[in-house]
Structure 1
């Protein structure tokens, strides 16, 4: 990657050549479709470096900075700030041209509100308030082609790999480097399968679906992988979805458990499996979502709470209910979700309701409390708290 940053809503932007990837998977687009002025003023062959200013109280808070050769561009809400582009030396005195990478470093992660710039072996800590530059050398870290602050951690990208580092010292702890594919960008057939459990357990790519069976075993789905967590001993196993559920052929949109069966929604069809070893695909399926559940339109997430027969389906920022004991099934009780614009996955059980958005999930004691809530509860990390990743 040439540069990595986040936009004002926290969506990662990955730059490679003249293309831009928004989020953790999906098709690339031309970067000049979003940031046209960089191409108008300076041919956008590639972005050298980028960062998102996140220093509360600063006039430039929530601005995204892009560095191309000797110029810097500042965007606010995807609009070029008046007067830009400018020379890097004018905006960030003491910082060289033709940078390799840049990343913001707010307090207390750095001693002062700072930006860290990378060029070859040289590291520059730039004090946002005083404009002082402290030049350092990170001896234990490879040269970064891009750098990224995400979930309060710092990542150096180099080639097809990345390392997590301490922003003050550059120290790298743990099993690094790791492949970018699988942890940050989802490339279906470009990954080392030897350490797939570690990769999926600690991946930052969002989940597509999540549920648990009657015994409490958890099933999580991410692209073409299935992550199973055993309730009895908390062990995590990873396999391809196609190997375990061969009729599905890769990714799913939503999954829920009801009456010892897994209902798996993919596009506009539903597959139903009996929970067993191996899981048994029921005869007569797949059926259309409309035929089986009475629902029209894309389903983002689905869940059934413990000992209930009402399935809940999230579509965008609304939710509908379906009584699974009634035939034909009809969606009822449509209501808005005040807290969420988009949900990736959801699961309900004895510990309450978990709603997954991106890399985090939110825990509610009950469905009723989630619907009535007007403020988000504490964030929990999917990788560490659902799958036991130790970093």
Structure 2
């Protein structure tokens, strides 16, 4: 705008043409057509924001809107039509900055809190993040202990780890990762988007484990019909949740961020389940008085001898409310009411032992590398360690519909 204000009519005309292009109905992108995102982050409520050209997609479904309708100052300062990178700042040691949404546009940085531009912004990237290059490809926050210190990972061909505490920049070699056009931290997992595919990676090493890349539309884009979306978001209740050995979640016994009728994948179960857990390479579903065990693969296969009774398999009378296992143990933890039991899965005759009370009953439960998740009604709670389930300190409450199903409410 400075050039136009100084009397350069060609620049003014170019800007007008660009704005006209943005506002043309034909230019509005469709996320279900396999487009590449410029940047991905979450807002203060955990709702994912996907940026493409001058547009913004809120949540995992719904039409695009112009990004400048939500973040007005981005358009006031620069008619760039894109965002290079974005992340939600995770820096609890500095509460005045914690939870701000940070945008990178060419050489400048914009910091927003509750969709309002913070005073003094925009600033040059070099002023706020010394040692970080301009015109970035992607960026993602990495709070401790997921990284050694509260950090941001920047991508521009090379990988830069920026330490908030020391302002030090460490160069990394993520040799197994593709070139990220955007990056995203969601449910304590890290995703690199490249084209319309994505790969999940370890933020410390860049290692990609499992069967990647995967199609982003199958996991992060809700492209099914509207009545299915309304049903999913209005119900927003989990009967069971677990994770496989790669850390991918199964919700209502389906792949991460996808919802399908159970009988499509587990035909022997046919309807809702009471609990689900993984042990070694197998997935266990508990329904009423029976346990179904499946070998997980392209086609989940019911193991020989199943279903078995809950009493035979877990040493406790069914039904149960939830169950989960942690990688480092050979025990499955069974929740029934407000009591939790341990079952040694290596024992020839299994019994539910070590009865103790937990903080509250749960509809679903899951254990992963970063702790235990309990789901109760429309909310879930994260515990860093198993022991915290027996304390009196209630952790932060999260909303299932927003953070697990990607709904807008």
**TM-score normalised per structure 2:** 0.52
Shift of 1:355: 2.3
Of 119, 144, 154, the match for 1:107: 144
Shift of 1:140: 0.3
| 2:271 maps to 1:217 | yes
| Aligned positions of 1:181-220 closer than 5 A | 181-188=217-224, 201-204=254-257, 217-218=271-272
CA contact (8 A) 1:24 1:206 kept: no
| 2:377 maps to 1:355 | yes
2:88 equivalent in structure 1: 52
- In structure 1, distance between residues paired with 2:200 and 2:105: 25
Shift of 1:160: 1.0
Shift of 1:41: 0.3
CA distance 1:237–1:155, change in 2 (3 Å):
closer
CA distance 1:172–1:75, change in 2 (3 Å):
same
| 2:159 maps to 1:123 | yes
Of 79, 82, 87, the match for 2:119: 82
Shift of 1:356: 4.1
Shift of 1:135: 1.1
Moved over 6 A (4+): 197-200, 206-209, 374-382
- In structure 1, distance between residues paired with 2:58 and 2:273: 27
CA contact (8 A) 1:182 1:203 kept: no
Three-state SS of the structure 1 residue aligned to 2:254 is helix
Shift of 1:125: 0.3
1:317 equivalent in structure 2: none
Three-state SS of the structure 2 residue aligned to 1:218 is coil
Shift of 1:32: 0.6
- In structure 2, distance between residues paired with 1:151 and 1:32: 27
Unaligned runs of 5+ in 1: 190-196, 210-214, 221-228, 239-345, 363-373, 386-391
CA distance 1:110–1:181, change in 2 (3 Å):
same
CA distance 1:207–1:88, change in 2 (3 Å):
farther
**Comparing both structures, which one devotes a greater share of its residues to helix?**
2
Give per-residue Cα distances to partners, 1:235-269, cap 9 Å, x unaligned: 6999xxxxxxxxxxxxxxxxxxxxxxxxxxxxxxx
| Aligned positions of 1:1-391 closer than 5 A | 1-58=37-94, 59-120=96-157, 122-188=158-224, 201-204=254-257, 217-218=271-272, 231=287, 232=290, 233=292, 354-356=376-378
Three-state SS of the structure 1 residue aligned to 2:73 is helix
Give per-residue Cα distances to partners, 1:69-102, cap 9 Å, x unaligned: 1111000111000111111111111000000000
**Comparing both structures, which one devotes a greater share of its residues to strand?**
1
Q: How many pairs were matched up? A: 242
CA distance 1:198–1:378, change in 2 (3 Å):
closer
Three-state SS of the structure 2 residue aligned to 1:202 is coil
Task: Report the RMSD for the aligned CA atoms in angstroms.
Answer: 4.1
1:334 equivalent in structure 2: none
**TM-score normalised per structure 1:** 0.54
CA contact (8 A) 1:164 1:173 kept: yes
CA distance 1:68–1:379, change in 2 (3 Å):
closer
CA distance 1:68–1:205, change in 2 (3 Å):
farther
Which structure has the higher relative contact order (CA within 8 Å, separation 6+)? 2
CA contact (8 A) 1:355 1:361 kept: no
Three-state SS of the structure 2 residue aligned to 1:5 is strand
CA distance 1:188–1:57, change in 2 (3 Å):
same
CA contact (8 A) 2:201 2:208 kept: yes
Three-state SS of the structure 2 residue aligned to 1:4 is strand
CA distance 1:71–1:208, change in 2 (3 Å):
farther
CA contact (8 A) 2:40 2:86 kept: yes
- In structure 2, distance between residues paired with 1:69 and 1:85: 11
CA distance 1:353–1:188, change in 2 (3 Å):
closer
CA distance 1:113–1:12, change in 2 (3 Å):
same
Give per-residue Cα distances to partners, 1:169-225, cap 9 Å, x unaligned: 100111111111121111239xxxxxxx9998222257999xxxxx993189xxxxx
CA distance 1:378–1:65, change in 2 (3 Å):
closer
